[in-house]
Structure 1
Amino acid sequence: MEGRRTFIRRMAASTALLGVGATGLSGCTSTAAGMGDSGVAGFRHGVASGDPLSDRVILWTRVTPAQAGEVAVRWQMATDPAMQQVIAHGSVITSAQKDYTVKVDAAGLLPGHVYYYQFAVDSEKSVVGRTKTLARGDARQVRLAVFSCSNYPAGYFNVYADAAKQDDIDAALHIGDYIYEYESTGYACGNAEALGRVSEPRDLLLRMDDYRRRYAQYRSDPDLQAVHAAMPFITVWDDHEIADDTWRDGSVDHKASKYGPFELRKLAALTAYHEWMPIRVPDMSAPDKIYRSFDFGGIVSLHMLDTRLIARDQQLMMSSYYDEHKHFDVEKYKQDVCSPRRQMIGREQMAWLEGQVSRSNARWQMLGQQVLMARMEYPTAVVMGECSCTDYSALKKRAAADPSCVTPKEQRWLSAPTLPCYLDSWDGYQADREQVFEMMQKHRKNLVVLAGDTHNAWASDLRDAQGKQIGVEFATASVSSPGMEGAYPDRDPEDVANMMVDLIEPLYYAQTSKRGYMIVTASHEQVRCDWRFVDTVLKHDYTAATERSLRVRAGPGNRRIEEC
């Protein structure tokens, strides 16, 4: 069977013939320019597949119409990239009501098999996509590519380009912030004009057409098209698919008096998400309910969670714990972040997860979700602004070398407890986190958590409130969104990463200045994580390399991060 690299070269050549440029197209208005006898202007947003099961997979494309009206789109699947050995085919109608997107749940497939697929309208054909069904029963290993935080104006999608060239990836996970909702003058847009990547539409995304146009712009990117065409995707949203720091009933920057009801904005965002992503909706009556599981043979049960929309309570604000004398109420703060009334994923999703975990016979329980689950607590003196991260790190080293040189004030800093301060993560919803940990202990499971959101790469041991080792978390860097390098522009990034590891007790590894993704390889014996980074997102010429590899081994005596 044709190798992935050969297939990618063919697919890239086909994409070039369609005239997809580096700067992309807005995609929601169309013209007859370049139109053949098909009556459509092409498949300008590529093809994609997603939510693979052992016998089926979602196939996706979008037609760029020449004029308004319904369009009949044919599809077919084959066992060869030349599309000669066709094993399934059909036709589907799309229209403006669906933003001319097409979704097919192609069933009747064999487990653990590679398939190829293509769409057509009359004589106009899409590029050929490659997908793969999930293995059933025993498999030797599972390889997953993991992405997060792809910001179009921040830089080129070189990370996607590198991932599309990888061999033997079973599926890609995108765990949130697939798009960003900001206006063209908003976050991370400093280089957008020079790169030809100014956000469209120019204004903040509020209405359905706004979100549709933003997805169309992202999906016009040739590197994003390449990775979608090369492997099936399994996705969940985070906040920026809707609005910054979204929670159940709002967002940190959504003002109803200015933008209208948040529910209308959320519905518009979710409608566009389901149109443009190759996702199977578990419940058509509840489009916000996207938690679902995927079983990769007997190796991995992957549970994709929603930590953002269906149940999350509003984030706490540290500023509200200061009184009029600027005294911080530490005890009240700790009580609130640990309150059992605060929900991250909600009781219904928690019960569903326990049911999935308890019934699973897989070697590994893997959570694909958005925000950091590991404890990222900082020393109280740092949180209170009494001491900088840099100075505290230096103090720890000085105290270790010569305890006699530490002043009484510095000793109080060193002996004070740590405090959570990233309250949009699981640190702000600790009762739910403890419930997940208790679940994994009760059912004696090997736990690996995958996270994104922060734009930086992390590896942490997961420990419960009593300090017991539960599992590990691997967190990916961003595709293009800037990381912590902006906070420490004059410091060596390696020193910054070492400082973070020194400050945060469960943290084992950090990379705070590079864009990249993870390749997670699971076998019966271990789960290995390889962090791959590109050297730039500001030009198309780039190099990519695996910078760090860590693993976790199965069994109650292990379940902690180790060197490979």
Structure 2
Amino acid sequence: MTDHMTRRKALKLVSGAIMLLPIACSPLPSRQIIDLTFSHGVASGDPDQSSVVIWTRVSQSTVPVNVNWFVASDPTFKNIVSTGQYTTDKQQDYTVKVVVNALEPGETYFYKFVSKGVDSIVGQTHTLPVGHVKELNFAVATCANFPFGFFNAYEAIANDPTIDLVVHLGDYIYEYGVDGFGGETGKQLGRNHEPSHEVLSLDDYRQRHAQYKTDQGSLAMHARHPLVVIWDDHETANNPWMGGAKNHQENEGSWADRRAASLKAYYEWLPIRDPAKDGSQEEYWRHYKFGDLASLITLESRHTGRSQQISYNEHLSNIDTTEKAQQFLHSVVGAPNRNMLSSGMETFLKSELEESLQANRRWRIIGNQSVIAKSTSPKLDTPFFTELKNKLNADGLSMLEELSHQGKFDLPADLDTWDGYPAARERFYQVAKDAGVHDLLVLSGDSHSYWANQLFDNDTQSMGVELGATGITSPRSLMTMGESAMKSYDQLNTEHNKEIVWADGRHRGFIRLHIDHNSGHADFIAVSNVESRIYETNIIHSVDILNNGNMLKFDE
């Protein structure tokens, strides 16, 4: 993980990321036969220093089937280091998931599966390193909605040979039916959701995962790089909390049953380790250790501790004075008993931050679902937005009026983020401080927007920086008002909020993050198009992060 090409060479490769990255392998049967047998490709992930999960699915089987798997140190499989047989059946939806043990740390491996005499494509993966690690490169991805377009950003990630690991921050699938979010675009592109209705049952969630795994960009990325993945909300339903979800209604059955079905399908279809026999599906958090360079700790903030979201639908119309706004923020949003993380999650976080500090790692990276920086809506009383009111359709005008109301009274724009849980955010920072940590590098998803944020607790003590990833295909909802409006809003939002250094909600793509022992560098990489397979990639912004050993800040 330390021998990399120069960034300039890598950019040339990424900017031309149109074709799948080939991996040399032994002669295979025809492409058609492979596609029929392993049409959902291969994947790897959830690595540690001596093991990694490898995954595939036997796509055309209706009876139990034996699958042989092979792991080698070379792409031609002349040096096989581990092999075995796995029997899969309908109980796990014919998926195959193997934890390959007894591997060497910091090494590259190649893997494949064989069923009914047919070889899968060859995948490439890595174990985590030990000892001194010079540098690391992550691709940070989130929010891939199938109907909204092709996963071209995934393909660009696949074609970047400098990437060590893909960090996926959730919304790996979306639950909506063909009439839901993205449905109109899906009809135009021929990418309608399957099944066509909103997913509710185990079979529904399995079918939806299967559809997402057929995208060419997805197939390429999963075969090329190991994955660290966390769920957000749409893997189950929009904006869940402990007792339900915004997108779960009483006529849709038991919330507990729906959540259990969604998580079972998630564990089946992702290259992640299953819970321990006495563990729960919901308690999914990890600490990935990269020698002396970095810790990556992932959070679970949807199914184990979260309080119900506050809805502006129930409050905004009653907020017509500054005093009422402040009372709302203090007593309703800021109620001290509103949780984002469970006590078990917080305990794990504290102990792992302490371990990271004791191990003298230079970076403490947090894999986080929702944007954590403090922000409130800016005033939209500029001539641009005044004139815009006469040009918008009903949906755009409704959005502008709500944003204007929020801005008038300095209210947060999104109460599903940590802004809707300010007391929980302070507890998160206190956990870090109790562990002796003030240098968090938080990676966040969910917002369909790029962010570079500096983080402070309520006492204005620096807690680190945040990088927010935009959607792979999912657009920012504010784009309903048009690209110029989105650009103007981003500018006003940055000027209005101390913690926002830069923001962009107009593009879709991913972040490439490079870290070494002195500094970090993040490229915000946008794809020019998601509505066809022809696209280019461009770096629309970059930031450098200074690491002085106990504090992080952007290099201005």
**TM-based fold match above 0.5:** yes
Give me the whole-angstrom Cα distance separating, in 2, the residues matched to 1:502 and 1:238: 29
SS in 2 for 1:502: helix
**Is the CA contact 2:195–2:204 (under 8 Å) kept in the aligned structure 1?**
yes
**Is the CA contact 1:389–1:503 (under 8 Å) kept in the aligned structure 2?**
no
Task: Please give the per-residue CA displacement for 1:263-299, whole angstroms capped at 9, x wherever unaligned.
Answer: 1110110010000000113434301111111001111
SS in 1 for 2:155: helix
Give me the whole-angstrom Cα distance separating, in 1, the residues matched to 2:27 and 2:318: 65
**Is the CA contact 1:50–1:59 (under 8 Å) kept in the aligned structure 2?**
yes
Instruction: Tell me the amino acid that sits aligned with residue 9 of structure 1.
Output: P
Structure 2 counterparts to residues 160-559 of structure 1, below 5 A: 160-256=154-250, 258-284=251-277, 285-321=279-315, 328-360=324-356, 361=359, 362-379=361-378, 387=381, 418-442=410-434, 443-484=436-477, 486-489=479-482, 491=484, 494-555=487-548, 558-559=551-552
Give me the whole-angstrom Cα distance separating, in 2, the residues matched to 1:8 and 1:43: 18
Q: Is the aligned partner of 1:97 residue 2:110?
A: no
Structure 2 counterparts to residues 98-117 of structure 1, below 5 A: 98-117=92-111
Give me the whole-angstrom Cα distance separating, in 2, the residues matched to 1:374 and 1:41: 46
Deviation at 1:435, TM superposition (A): 2.0
SS in 2 for 1:270: helix
Unaligned runs of 5+ in 1: 20-33, 393-412
Deviation at 1:429, TM superposition (A): 1.2
Task: Please give the per-residue CA displacement for 1:214-269, whole angstroms capped at 9, x wherever unaligned.
Answer: 1101101121010000010011101100001111111112112x111101110110
SS in 1 for 2:437: coil
Give me the whole-angstrom Cα distance separating, in 1, the residues matched to 2:198 and 2:485: 35
Distance 1:228 1:13, change over 3 A: farther
SS in 1 for 2:552: coil
Give me the whole-angstrom Cα distance separating, in 1, the residues matched to 2:383 and 2:153: 30
Instruction: Tell me the amino acid that sits aligned with residue 374 of structure 1.
Output: A
Which of 68, 73, 98 is the aligned partner of 2:67?
73
Task: Please give the per-residue CA displacement for 1:127-161, whole angstroms capped at 9, x wherever unaligned.
Answer: 00000011111100111111100000101111011
- TM-score, normalised to structure 2, is 0.87
Residue of structure 1 in register with 2:37 after alignment: 42
Task: Please give the per-residue CA displacement for 1:313-347, whole angstroms capped at 9, x wherever unaligned.
Answer: 10012343468796645224323323221110121
Give me the whole-angstrom Cα distance separating, in 2, the residues matched to 1:552 and 1:173: 19
Instruction: Tell me the amino acid that sits aligned with residue 449 of structure 2.
Output: N
Give me the whole-angstrom Cα distance separating, in 2, the residues matched to 1:277 and 1:48: 8
Residue of structure 1 in register with 2:21 after alignment: 8
Distance 1:325 1:196, change over 3 A: closer
Deviation at 1:43, TM superposition (A): 0.6
Give me the whole-angstrom Cα distance separating, in 2, the residues matched to 1:245 and 1:325: 23
Residue of structure 2 in register with 1:88 after alignment: 82
Deviates further, 478-487 or 163-172: 478-487
Task: Please give the per-residue CA displacement for 1:532-562, whole angstroms capped at 9, x wherever unaligned.
Answer: 1111101111000222111221237852222
Distance 1:283 1:84, change over 3 A: same
Residue of structure 1 in register with 2:392 after alignment: none
Give me the whole-angstrom Cα distance separating, in 2, the residues matched to 1:388 and 1:441: 41
SS in 1 for 2:257: helix
**Is the CA contact 2:439–2:550 (under 8 Å) kept in the aligned structure 1?**
no
Give me the whole-angstrom Cα distance separating, in 1, the residues matched to 2:511 and 2:318: 46
Give me the whole-angstrom Cα distance separating, in 2, the residues matched to 1:53 and 1:16: 33
Distance 1:325 1:78, change over 3 A: closer
Instruction: Tell me the amino acid that sits aligned with residue 423 of structure 1.
Output: L
Give me the whole-angstrom Cα distance separating, in 2, the residues matched to 1:165 and 1:418: 43
Q: Is the aligned partner of 1:59 residue 2:54?
A: yes
Residue of structure 1 in register with 2:394 after alignment: none
Distance 1:503 1:137, change over 3 A: same
Instruction: Tell me the amino acid that sits aligned with residue 179 of structure 1.
Output: I
Give me the whole-angstrom Cα distance separating, in 1, the residues matched to 2:20 and 2:53: 20
**Is the CA contact 2:202–2:261 (under 8 Å) kept in the aligned structure 1?**
yes
**Is the CA contact 1:58–1:105 (under 8 Å) kept in the aligned structure 2?**
yes
CA-atom RMSD in angstroms: 2.9
Deviation at 1:168, TM superposition (A): 2.3
**Is the CA contact 1:71–1:93 (under 8 Å) kept in the aligned structure 2?**
yes
Distance 1:506 1:445, change over 3 A: closer
Bigger Cα Rg: 1
Instruction: Tell me the amino acid that sits aligned with residue 426 of structure 1.
Output: W
Task: Please give the per-residue CA displacement for 1:351-400, whole angstroms capped at 9, x wherever unaligned.
Answer: 11001001112211111011001112225x66xxxx479669xxxxxxxx
**Is the CA contact 1:364–1:445 (under 8 Å) kept in the aligned structure 2?**
no
Residue of structure 1 in register with 2:402 after alignment: none
Instruction: Tell me the amino acid that sits aligned with residue 411 of structure 2.
Output: L
Deviates further, 444-453 or 169-178: 444-453
**Is the CA contact 1:155–1:195 (under 8 Å) kept in the aligned structure 2?**
yes
SS in 2 for 1:183: coil
**Is the CA contact 1:552–1:558 (under 8 Å) kept in the aligned structure 2?**
no
Give me the whole-angstrom Cα distance separating, in 2, the residues matched to 1:17 and 1:549: 43
Instruction: Tell me the amino acid that sits aligned with residue 447 of structure 1.
Output: L
Deviation at 1:179, TM superposition (A): 0.4
**Is the CA contact 1:238–1:308 (under 8 Å) kept in the aligned structure 2?**
yes
Instruction: Tell me the amino acid that sits aligned with residue 462 of structure 2.
Output: Q
**Is the CA contact 1:318–1:421 (under 8 Å) kept in the aligned structure 2?**
no
Unaligned runs of 5+ in 2: 14-18, 387-404
Give me the whole-angstrom Cα distance separating, in 2, the residues matched to 1:436 and 1:323: 31
Give me the whole-angstrom Cα distance separating, in 1, the residues matched to 2:281 and 2:83: 27
Residue of structure 1 in register with 2:16 after alignment: none
Deviation at 1:17, TM superposition (A): 4.8
Give me the whole-angstrom Cα distance separating, in 2, the residues matched to 1:80 and 1:192: 40
Q: Is the aligned partner of 1:123 residue 2:122?
A: no
Task: Please give the per-residue CA displacement for 1:85-141, whole angstroms capped at 9, x wherever unaligned.
Answer: 111000011001100000000011111100000000131110000000111111001
Residue of structure 1 in register with 2:396 after alignment: none
Deviation at 1:188, TM superposition (A): 1.3
Distance 1:357 1:427, change over 3 A: same
Instruction: Tell me the amino acid that sits aligned with residue 415 of structure 2.
Output: L
Instruction: Tell me the amino acid that sits aligned with residue 45 of structure 1.
Output: H
Deviation at 1:445, TM superposition (A): 4.2
